[in-house]
Amino acid sequence: MAKNKNKNKIVLMRGEREFHYLALVVMTLLMLFCVVPLILMLTVSFSSENSLLHGYRFIPDEWSFDAYAFMWAKRATIFRAYGLTIVVTVIGTIINLIMTSMFAYPLSRRDFKPRNVIAFALFFTMLFNGGMTASYMVWTRLFHIKDSILAYLLPGSLMGGMNVMMVRNYFNANIPYSIIEAARLDGARDWTIYSKIMVPLSKPIMTTIGLFAALGYWNNWTAGIYYINDPKLYTIQVYLKKLMDSIQFLKTTDLSNEAVLLAQRSLPSESARMAVAIIALIPVLLVYPFIQGELIKGMVVGGVKG
């Protein structure tokens, strides 16, 4: 009997060891799939346009800083766009967190009778919407957000149904309802319970939702394309999109002027695309390592059905 138990333990240990090795191989491959494109993107941004005519390479045939010199020449506009992007991201993320958590709190309360009806209505908006045309007409004609910073903050970004569900599930799974009942017995009102109990105990999921919202605002270029015509209101993503469109236009336009043709050939097109991507990616790479732990914890627990 003891021998059989020892054999089972040995088999189990071997199985766990093999699983760990397999998981290590799979995770290494996934890491390479994520890291290798970034390395290629970085090397291409330091490549000359002539060397890119033969394709992308990890070690360029000819190194060049033309793409970054081209971007540096437009540094004043880029810095202004960066500043506006940071303002929009910070303000939008804070408002998103407040609205999402305040919406999720009553949905997590057992004594809130209409919560199922409201949750269904919220879920319905995740499946159906009025479309881009109706949305554009509502925001421009009713709310008049065209050529305004509100164009980056309001349309489709202040609160998402999936995020509300994740926060509600986190409240249900990680904050015992007895704490809320005890607080009410002590005379605490709903605002006190929400601000003093629910939010402080929800750091992981708030970090996760905050990252989602921040990435959404940081990478939002469609709002600028639809609603912004004033170049002074371009965020970094909108400006870089316009910049790349201008470069592509000059590269593909057939003009007879020799000076224009020379300028066309000297414009860094492919390398500038990658330099643009690197510039836009830097803030995310700097912030993510500091919130990785809370992000993973919030994703795992917030995604549990409550």
Using one digit for the tens of pLDDT, what is the confidence trace for 117-148? 888 888 888 887 777 788 888 888 888 888 88
Does the pLDDT of residue 305 top 50, yes or no?
A: no
pLDDT band for position 8 (50/70/90)?
low
The span from the CA of 297 to the CA of 211, in Å, is: 13
Taking residues 175-180, report their average pLDDT.
Answer: 84
Single-letter amino acid, residue 102: M
The span from the CA of 154 to the CA of 161, in Å, is: 15
Regarding pTM above 0.85, the answer is no
Kindly report the backbone phi and psi dihedral angles of residue 257, in degrees, each rounded to the nearest multiple of 5, phi listed first: -65, 125
Angle between helix 258-266 and helix 236-252 axes, rounded to 10 deg? 130
B/e letters for 43-72, b = 16+ CB within 10 Å, e = fewer, are: bbbbbbbebbeeeeeeebeeebebbbebbe
Taking residues 262-276, report their average pLDDT.
Answer: 67
How high is the pLDDT of residue 286? 77
Kindly report the backbone phi and psi dihedral angles of residue 147, in degrees, each rounded to the nearest multiple of 5, phi listed first: 55, 45
Mean pLDDT of the chain: 80
Which ranges in the chain belong to alpha helices (H)? Answer: 2-45, 49-52, 66-73, 75-108, 115-127, 132-137, 150-153, 161-174, 177-185, 190-193, 203-218, 222-227, 236-252, 258-266, 270-302
Taking residues 13-42, report their average pLDDT.
Answer: 84
Higher model confidence: residue 120 or residue 8? 120
Single-letter amino acid, residue 21: Y
Tell me the three state secondary structure of residue 15.
Answer: helix
pLDDT band for position 260 (50/70/90)?
low
How high is the pLDDT of residue 94? 92
The span from the CA of 249 to the CA of 244, in Å, is: 8
Instruction: Please tell me what DSSP assigns to residue 62.
Output: S
In the chain, the percentage of residues whose pLDDT exceeds 90 is 6
Single-letter amino acid, residue 293: G
Query: Which residue segments constitute the domains of the chain, with CATH numbers given?
Result: 66-302 (1.10.3720.10)
How high is the pLDDT of residue 216? 87
Please answer whether residues 63 and 48 qualify as being in contact, where contact means their C-beta atoms are separated by less than 8 angstroms. yes
Does the pLDDT of residue 249 top 50, yes or no?
A: yes
Q: Long-range CB contacts (< 8 A, 24+ apart) of 128-131?
A: none
How high is the pLDDT of residue 162? 85
pLDDT digits (tens, 9 = 90+) for 51-84: 777 778 888 888 888 888 888 887 888 888 888 9
